[in-house]
Amino acid sequence: MRLVILDRDGVINEDSDDYIKTPDEWRPIPGSLEAIARLTHAGIQVVVATNQSGIARGLFNVDMLGRIHNRMLDEVHHRGGEIEAIFFCPHGPQDGCSCRKPLPGLFHDIAARFKTSLNGTYAVGDSLRDIAAARAVQALPVLVRSGKGARAIAQGGRELEGVPVYDDLAAFCDALLSCATGPGAC
């Protein structure tokens, strides 16, 4: 099974420091939905792993998050793609959970659900939290400049050593699908 794990905000859709609180606020990054469709057509299963602390902060509830995700799924499907599953952490930074990235709880849940090791699985994110969570399960972290990626690059240092960086999900997808051995091999 080939699997790619994507962060949501900043990778698939535009991010906001005010949070994405409604389906109307969810706006795809140009080319991201088509990239997911291309991955789907290449036989790669796409899974989303996303921190959603807006729930803990009282900005929206789980029902609203479901409506936001339904919009995303509909938009992806409309372009011929599929997202196999969405894993989310509803907790805030101070809640002490194991599922909030940079901790790997969501990734462990993905491995259990799909009955696979994530060793060698690409995990695409736009933050140092995404990179740390991927490394914790031996996944292959990838950083995109979209979303908060430029900020992560400025903060990065050693945390980004060996991490391939792409402009956005579409550029990562181009590299992955054009190289027999994956991004960075071209």
**62 located within any domain:** yes
**Cα–Cα distance measured from residue 4 to residue 78, given in angstroms and rounded to the nearest whole number:** 20
pTM: 0.94
The radius of gyration of the chain's CA atoms, rounded to the nearest angstrom, is: 15
Going by C-beta distance under 8 Å and a sequence separation of 6 or more, which residues neighbour residue 162?
none
Q: Examine the pLDDT at 73 and tell me if it is beyond 80.
A: yes
* 100-132 pLDDT per residue, tens: 999 999 999 999 999 999 999 999 999 999 999
**17 located within any domain:** yes
Contact present, 89 and 97 (Cβ < 8 Å): yes
**Cα–Cα distance measured from residue 100 to residue 109, given in angstroms and rounded to the nearest whole number:** 12
Both structure tokens of 38: 């291309």
Contact present, 92 and 56 (Cβ < 8 Å): yes
Using pLDDT thresholds of 50, 70 and 90, give the confidence band for residue 1.
low
Q: Examine the pLDDT at 72 and tell me if it is beyond 90.
A: yes
**186 located within any domain:** no
Q: Where are the beta strands (DSSP E) in the chain?
A: 2-6, 44-51, 85-89, 122-125, 140-144, 165-166
Read off φ and ψ for residue 88, nearest 5 degrees. Answer: -135, 150
What CATH number does the domain containing 53 carry? 3.40.50.1000
**163 located within any domain:** yes
Q: Examine the pLDDT at 9 and tell me if it is beyond 50.
A: yes
**183 located within any domain:** no
Q: Examine the pLDDT at 70 and tell me if it is beyond 60.
A: yes
Residue 63 annotated as catalytic: no
Using pLDDT thresholds of 50, 70 and 90, give the confidence band for residue 180.
low
* 17-59 pLDDT per residue, tens: 999 999 999 999 999 999 999 999 999 999 999 999 999 999 9
Return the pLDDT at 182: 54
Number of domains making up the chain: 1
Residues spanned by the domain of 110: 2-178
Section 128-147 average pLDDT: 97
* 153-172 pLDDT per residue, tens: 999 788 899 999 999 999 99
Of 7, 15, 130, 174, the catalytic one is 7
- The three-state secondary structure class of 100 is coil
Contact present, 36 and 28 (Cβ < 8 Å): no
Return the pLDDT at 91: 97
Angle between helices 149-156 and 128-136 (to 10 degrees): 70
Using pLDDT thresholds of 50, 70 and 90, give the confidence band for residue 179.
confident
Both structure tokens of 29: 């990054």
Return the pLDDT at 157: 82
Residue 7 annotated as catalytic: yes
**88 located within any domain:** yes
Length of the chain: 186
**184 located within any domain:** no
**36 located within any domain:** yes
Both structure tokens of 186: 């071209």
Return the pLDDT at 186: 44
